[in-house]
Structure 1
């Protein structure tokens, strides 16, 4: 069946109309003509490209198309930027929100400072890489043009470490983070290590110059504190802690948030993590940081105590999904920031909508839940000041966004 790609779907697949309904064909672009046998199926890559778009580009990675990490290396920069900005625009429109969405804040190749690799047994060898799209099969990689050069350089060491430690019954996860002290490697999804394995693993890490190697919450070896610099404030990350993927994007988000909230006297930072925004805000205003992860709260508290000249920072451990701060308890804040996981901040937004907080900054990695939360806030009397889409998941269908709101 010969079809023409009409548009890009939310996950970057090209969409064409077949006799049985829409066809979703990965790695295609609008205007391209393909021949496919996938009639009536919701997804597939069984097609032949007959007419290529002038916007098609050669992919930057030899693993593109097999590795499931990237969706859009074949698209021109213009198509790619419009696609990501469009994800935010369309999510807002589905909630009936008409807003001016700014241009996409881009990130460079080889700028991702944190990746999660998977190691799996393949016969007598160990494969280290990322999952293939829509499968649990691990695609072994030799290079990764999104990853920081320090991570790519460490791939041989990480492969040797995986071969030593992998459990035959399940894959091994390795969260690898570039810190100011070197690489931090956090292992998960494996059995506790015997002393027979622990000693050679530590020796490998020492030989490779790794700053810290951990398994779950247990630190196997730490040669230097694996710290991240939040605009001049050093924070030692807990093992496996959440971190924004790209430093330049994090800085751009922080600039937007600080400009919106720096005139406040007291700000609540909800889902604060290790202090990405709260510590920066504490240079200007008093901050109350709320987070469910005790280790993350402790890390930002230590960083605050060690940094001179900051405004007061109070911390609270709280599950904001189950126990959002009630509107009546927000009277002491004239600014609120929230940066939740992909599920969004529906409960928090409902309480904010009933509060008198003057300014809100909403940070999100999911345009759909962000739009839902913004609709709640707008219905509660807030006005949308700006929406900025930002990229830190290069060549994927994921996009970050910062929305700024005020009352009146």
Structure 2
């Protein structure tokens, strides 16, 4: 067993020693010992701990795979996440101002996907163990809101009804104004008996909606989400920002970037996270590849009061990005692509001449790549707001303010 100096954290939150050798649950500057197995260190012992090392606040941290950074101080994690974004931009020769990071508090995650598995004696529901397919119970999780954590009991009951012994269910639980919105994948085929049992469970447990492998089994009450002045009922499994605090920080940054724009185009609009709040002061054209999300957005707008006109368009922006002539009427553009970024759409934005672009991203690497395209076309990256919705994980989100 040799000793190794942890030089930095990798993008997945593991410590990296010379080699590279990846050492989970370690911090830069620490000296550790262990046995090298491939590119990982096994039987890890901390010889010299970092001053940034803290006692993990959650009793499940060592076994649960849901969090990766509870052993680090809040200040270290905040600085590291900002540095990840700064370094990604620096790799393209871009420097900019960074606003103070906004970090969501504990017990604020309003959605989670539980793993639920049948066992010989019944069922088990929780998260996957660290580095394993095994499912462990996490009754003391400090990441989730209390109602979402309570959804673990529903996942347990759903596994008893409809899980096979061969695979775990994925039970996505989202908090809504009407109760929990639950979407299950990986279950047994829903025959008449199972549908009846699932509908009865939904009623007995007061779920807002229960979806089984894409089929809505029961709808007790529309599971509405609030976007600005509007209430929207997303389709099952639709994307939703992880925390209300994080969503508010992103919306605040986007509002500042678009400023007094009177006409805004919102690309990868989802169900209206940005479109509907911005419609309080501007006309908005929302474009999203999922037609069901656009339909939910439009219905939310129709029932809201005090909003300017919102138009929706279902369009695959990877294959058919909006072209410069289609962007001519926009004073500002908001773009919030998935992790892969939006290379084709960014290329068209770079040619468009739109005065202001609010670029929201969940990937520092693709954000920096797309930022470089815009900068080469004459845009300035005025500032970046980093948002940490996924507390204690290596995930990071950001908003960039681009102006001509």
Both proteins in one fold, TM over 0.5: yes
Match of 2:240 in 1: 243
Does 1:27 find its partner at 2:7? no
Does 1:289 find its partner at 2:286? yes
Given that 1:262 and 1:285 are in contact with CA atoms closer than 8 Å, whether structure 2 keeps it comes out as: no
Match of 1:15 in 2: 16
Does 1:190 find its partner at 2:198? no
Counterpart of 2:101 in 1: which secondary structure? coil
Question: How far off its partner does 1:107 sit?
Answer: 0.7
Question: How far off its partner does 1:96 sit?
Answer: 1.5
Which runs of no fewer than 5 residues in structure 1 stay unpaired? none
Does 1:80 find its partner at 2:77? yes
Q: How do 1:4-403 residues align onto structure 2 when only pairs under 5 Å count?
A: 4-17=5-18, 21-38=19-36, 41-403=38-400
Q: TM-score, normalised by structure 2?
A: 0.96
Given that 1:84 and 1:397 are in contact with CA atoms closer than 8 Å, whether structure 2 keeps it comes out as: yes
Counterpart of 2:67 in 1: which secondary structure? coil
Aligned partners of 1:182 and 1:264: how far apart in 2? Answer: 36
Aligned partners of 1:351 and 1:107: how far apart in 2? Answer: 34
Counterpart of 2:141 in 1: which secondary structure? coil
Aligned partners of 1:69 and 1:45: how far apart in 2? Answer: 20
Aligned partners of 2:221 and 2:126: how far apart in 1? Answer: 27
Question: How far off its partner does 1:134 sit?
Answer: 4.3
Select between 255-264 and 390-399 the one with higher mean Cα deviation.
255-264
Question: How far off its partner does 1:110 sit?
Answer: 0.5
Kindly report the root-mean-square deviation, in angstroms, between the aligned alpha carbons of the 2 structures: 1.5
Question: How far off its partner does 1:155 sit?
Answer: 2.0
Counterpart of 1:371 in 2: which secondary structure? helix
Aligned partners of 1:217 and 1:263: how far apart in 2? Answer: 41
Give the total of aligned pairs.
Answer: 403
Cα distance change on mapping 1:134 and 1:324 into 2, 3 Å? farther
Question: How far off its partner does 1:45 sit?
Answer: 4.0
Counterpart of 1:170 in 2: which secondary structure? coil
Aligned partners of 1:165 and 1:217: how far apart in 2? Answer: 14
> How far does the alpha carbon of each residue in 1:73-98 deviate from its partner, in whole angstroms, 9 at most, with x for none?
01011111111111111111112211
Question: How far off its partner does 1:123 sit?
Answer: 4.7
Question: How far off its partner does 1:151 sit?
Answer: 1.4
Aligned partners of 1:172 and 1:217: how far apart in 2? Answer: 13
Aligned partners of 1:183 and 1:252: how far apart in 2? Answer: 24
Question: How far off its partner does 1:216 sit?
Answer: 3.6
Cα distance change on mapping 1:295 and 1:86 into 2, 3 Å? same
Aligned partners of 2:289 and 2:191: how far apart in 1? Answer: 31
Aligned partners of 2:167 and 2:35: how far apart in 1? Answer: 35
Q: TM-score, normalised by structure 1?
A: 0.95
Counterpart of 1:102 in 2: which secondary structure? strand
Select between 323-332 and 105-114 the one with higher mean Cα deviation.
323-332
Counterpart of 2:204 in 1: which secondary structure? helix
Which runs of no fewer than 5 residues in structure 2 stay unpaired? none
> How far does the alpha carbon of each residue in 1:39-84 deviate from its partner, in whole angstroms, 9 at most, with x for none?
6x32244311122222211112222132221110010111111111
Question: How far off its partner does 1:402 sit?
Answer: 0.4
Aligned partners of 1:155 and 1:143: how far apart in 2? Answer: 11
Aligned partners of 2:282 and 2:42: how far apart in 1? Answer: 52
Given that 1:26 and 1:45 are in contact with CA atoms closer than 8 Å, whether structure 2 keeps it comes out as: no
Counterpart of 2:46 in 1: which secondary structure? strand
Given that 2:29 and 2:50 are in contact with CA atoms closer than 8 Å, whether structure 1 keeps it comes out as: yes
